[in-house]
Amino acid sequence: MNHVMPPPCGDAPASGAPALGRPPELLRPAEGITLRRRSPAQAPALNAAVRADLDHLRPWLEWAAEAPTPARTAELTAACVAAWDAGTDFIYLLGLDAEPGRVIGSFGLHGRIGPGALEIGYWVSAAHTRRGIATAAARSVAAAALALPGIRRVEIHCDPANTASGAVARRLGFRLDRVVDAPVRAPGETGRKQIWIQEGPAPLP
């Protein structure tokens, strides 16, 4: 399972400091897969994807406790659009080029961990795990983050029991910096959280 994403954009504006730039709205992590900036036009497909995969998502994602209504997905999508424009969060939806319009996951960059850093969150549908898709997409998102002016660090936060998400971080060369206590918000969580870190090149003098 590859899920380390909290509620998509949350119910309120993000509190992180705005980034100095914006990542590309379209990323191509590998042949046949695409990450597109989340938009209102994708809300129905996203709602269908989440509702179909609730059993897969529920152990690690608090927001998957109940099936979202189409109206709720549309509301959160509007919040994601506003967060992108504000430069605090950047949310992508994952799709297959062979199946236009279908959503098979989501990847985001969240500005809630302090200046100069962004946290990566993500989930991939059960039918598309164990194919390297999450790793390729997370690599692409991390690179986009570290290319932004002022961003020197990206992090992945996941529960130690979520071994698939930890494996993605490890494959990408992230360093396990520490393990901290964390509130239990989803059924699979243990009350501990791993903090994986990848740092960009030092700024020029």
Cβ neighbours of 146 (radius 10 Å):
17
Write the class of the CATH domain 26-153: alpha beta
The confidence band for 6, taking pLDDT boundaries of 50, 70 and 90, is very low
Q: Please list the residues that pair with 92 across neighbouring strands.
A: 37, 107
pLDDT tens across 157-185, in order?
A: 999 999 999 999 999 999 999 999 999 99
Has residue 74 got a pLDDT over 90? yes
Arithmetic mean of pLDDT over the chain: 90
Position with higher pLDDT, 3 vs 166: 166
Structural tokens at position 180: 């901290």
Hey, how many other C-beta atoms are within 10 angstroms of the C-beta on 196? 23
Residue 2 scores a pLDDT above 70 = no
In this prediction, residue 7 carries a pLDDT of 47
Residues in contact with 133: Cβ distance below 8 Å, sequence separation at least 6, in sequence order: 29, 30, 33, 94, 104, 105, 124
CB-based contacts of 170-174 (< 8 A; 24+ apart in sequence): 170/196, 171/135, 172/135, 172/138, 172/139, 172/142, 172/198, 173/198, 174/198
State whether residue 106 is helix, strand or coil.
strand
Tell me the average pLDDT across 14-19: 58
In the chain, the amino acid numbered 48 is A
Whole-number pLDDT of residue 12? 36
